[in-house]
Amino acid sequence: MSPDNVNPLPDVSVVFGELEKNWGWLLLFGIVSIVLGTLGLGMTFVLTQVSVVFFGALLVVGGVLQLLHSMKCRGWKSVAWHVLIALLYVAAGLVMVLQPVVASLSLTLIIAYILIAVGIMRLIMAFQMRQAGGWWWPLIGGLISGALGVMILMEWPQSGLWIIGLFIAIELIFNGWTYMFVALAARSAAKRRKAQGSVTA
């Protein structure tokens, strides 16, 4: 086969770049993420508490840094609000660190209402799009979001002890699978580029 008869492959180097050479590390990261997420499914209570404490610690650190920064803002008309926001950060963070169960219950309640609100908005969007193709995708998404929110509310406060950990575990699993497929796509692109190079050589 002559090189003129070979259809050149599209240049995907702009997509993957050096990932074509280092795809193995991304694949490993994806596998680790899946393993961690799977383990997390078995200990959602612990994962919920750890995540709440960690987020609370971040709020405390952020609030303290903002308080320190406010000392350099003399003369600023909004410095009082700057300090108040920082104090709220610290207060919320301390509650989450010292009372992770109470914090997780409150956060779960907020998540449930947000899911219901998102579901309603997606349903409205679906009905506005019903004369166009694909309108049933937001319809299905809205029904699922709303149903999840209602299920969380029906199981609350018990759901507050594990739902955050469950969401994190599921996110880790989906994150892992996503990066695994990206890594395999980069490996495939590298092989195709190598084969194309050997043919045209």
Query: Does residue 122 form part of some domain?
Result: yes
Per-residue pLDDT of 71-91, as tens digits, reads 776 766 677 777 888 888 899
Q: Which of the residue ranges 9-13, 127-131, 157-161 would you say has the lowest mean pLDDT?
A: 9-13
| Boundaries of domain holding 87 | 23-195
CA-based nearest residue to 119, from 137, 136, 143: 143
How large a percentage of the chain has pLDDT more than 70? 82
- Record the pTM: 0.65
Distance of CA 26 to the CA centre of its chain: 17
* Number of domains observed in the structure of the chain: 1
Mean pLDDT of the chain: 79
Query: Does residue 13 form part of some domain?
Result: no
Query: Does residue 200 form part of some domain?
Result: no
Query: Does residue 63 form part of some domain?
Result: yes
Per-residue pLDDT of 122-138, as tens digits, reads 888 878 777 766 777 77
Query: Does residue 3 form part of some domain?
Result: no
Query: Does residue 150 form part of some domain?
Result: yes
Query: Does residue 17 form part of some domain?
Result: no
Neighbours of 144 (CB within 10 A): 14
Query: Does residue 29 form part of some domain?
Result: yes
Neighbours of 45 (CB within 10 A): 14
Identify the band that residue 6 occupies on the pLDDT scale cut at 50, 70 and 90: very low
Q: What does the chain look like in DSSP terms, one character per residue?
A: --GGGSPPPP--HHHHGGGGTSHHHHHHHHHHHHHHHHHHHT-HHHHHHHHHHHHHHHHHHHHHHHHHHHTT-TT-TTHHHHHHHHHHHHHHHHHHHH-HHHHHHHHHHHHHHHHHHHHHHHHHHHHHTTTSTTTHHHHHHHHHHHHHHHHHHHHTTGGGGTHHHHHHHHHHHHHHHHHHHHHHHHHHHHHHHHHHHHHH-
